[in-house]
């Protein structure tokens, strides 16, 4: 089985913006290693929506970064994330994080 999930890196002259992370810890750590190899600081991580394959990697490899999402997505991650971990642990064990990191910053549309 091969698991490949594409995530986005927006690169400016001086910094990076990451859009989504990964589902399993090894992929999140690999993605972070690639991000770090670019030699620019991560300005922020943006979580696009509330599916665990987009935010589990935040806890695994990007918890030191400023994380942003829409208010509704932050609520979904905070409310449903712990249950998602509980549901997935029997299948994935230590390959997924033990806790959820909810983005600490809220993006307000059209402001």
pLDDT in the model for residue 37: 94
* Rounded Cα–Cα distance for residues 69 and 105 (Å): 7
- Per-residue pLDDT of 19-42, as tens digits, reads 999 999 999 999 999 999 999 999
Residue 110's pLDDT is: 79
In contact, 44 and 18? CB cutoff 8 Å: yes
**What are the tens digits of pLDDT across the range 50-70?**
999 999 999 999 999 999 999
Cα distances (Å, whole numbers) of residue 24 to 5, 27, 29, 37, 73: 10, 6, 9, 20, 20
Q: Mean per-residue pLDDT for 78-97?
A: 96
């Amino acid at each position: 089985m091969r698991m490949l999930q594409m995530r986005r890196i927006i690169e400016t002259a001086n910094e990076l913006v990451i859009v989504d992370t990964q589902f399993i810890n090894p992929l999140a750590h690999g993605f972070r290693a690639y991000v770090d190899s670019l030699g620019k600081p991560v300005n922020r991580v943006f979580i696009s929506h509330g599916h665990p394959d987009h935010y589990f990697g935040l806890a695994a490899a990007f918890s030191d970064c400023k994380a942003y999402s829409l208010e509704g997505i932050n609520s979904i991650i905070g409310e449903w994330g712990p249950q998602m971990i509980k549901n997935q642990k029997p299948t994935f064990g230590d390959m997924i994080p033990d806790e959820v990191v909810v983005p600490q910053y809220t993006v307000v549309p059209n402001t």
